[in-house]
Amino acid sequence: MRSIRVLAAMIAAGLVSVAVAQQQQQQGIVQGKPAPEWNITSARGMQTSAKLADYRGRWVVLDFWGFWCPPCVGRSIPAWMTFAEKHKDQNQHFAIITVHETNRGVTTPEQLEPKLAQLTKSKWNGKELPFPVIFDVTNKTVAAYRVNAYPTAVLIDPAGNVAAVEVGAGDVIEKRLAAELVKLQPAKKADEATVAADAPKEPVKAEKPKEAAPAAGSTEKSANGEKKTDEKSE
């Protein structure tokens, strides 16, 4: 009886794994496989000629969003702002790039600017959007990543492969990236320690101890070696 339950559990787990794999294949992106190349028709904060391969060696977050999307502007974008600020000392290890939806009248950086100004005041506590924004009026990028809901975030590893996909304003990818950055911290600190060890050191000056004022009635030597005694005034 127990063996039957174990077998049933194994079959169920296998079916779940197959279902997940099929869903990923339907989405067009599979974890561990190369991330699709993006297409850029215009951009804010980056060159239109930029390629995903330009970011090889770094973790990349692609955040698909729209100015009209409450979860995007109220949760996803602010969360990535906070993340970037918290991990700014490791920004050489990751990049956050946003892809703006182009089917609702905003297809260029110029058209997005007034929306961003409004969001900065109303949603982002005066903070300006610090991330590059990709626009693709051909929708090739959205199609390649099979985006059908906003926000959608895709985490790409330093080798250019898909590491995780998250639909909705969650924190799965945020936690995953934070964990990956933690793994890089020891090496970073070790390098800094090596640089510090190799740097020329200035001689440490010995600090001269301060002399305490002699107490009344105490005896001390004068400059010529004679003893003199402080007497209390009557």
What is the chain's Cα-based Rg? 31
Average pLDDT score, the chain: 80
Confidence at residue 185, expressed as pLDDT on a 0 to 100 scale: 85
CATH class of 27-193: alpha beta
Phi first, then psi, for residue 223 (nearest 5°) are -60, -30
Confidence at residue 30, expressed as pLDDT on a 0 to 100 scale: 84
Element (H, E) at 9: helix 2-27
Burial of 180 (0-12, 13-18, 19+ CB in 10 A): middle
Confidence at residue 197, expressed as pLDDT on a 0 to 100 scale: 38
pTM: 0.69
**Cα 72 from Cα 168, distance rounded (Å):** 8
Token digits of residue 104: 């609702």
Confidence at residue 204, expressed as pLDDT on a 0 to 100 scale: 34
Token digits of residue 209: 């101890």
Confidence at residue 29, expressed as pLDDT on a 0 to 100 scale: 78
Burial of 49 (0-12, 13-18, 19+ CB in 10 A): exposed
When pLDDT is averaged across residues 87-105 and rounded to a whole number, the result is: 97
**Cα 227 from Cα 224, distance rounded (Å):** 9
pLDDT: which is higher, 199 or 107: 107
Report residue 221 CA to chain centroid gap. Answer: 66
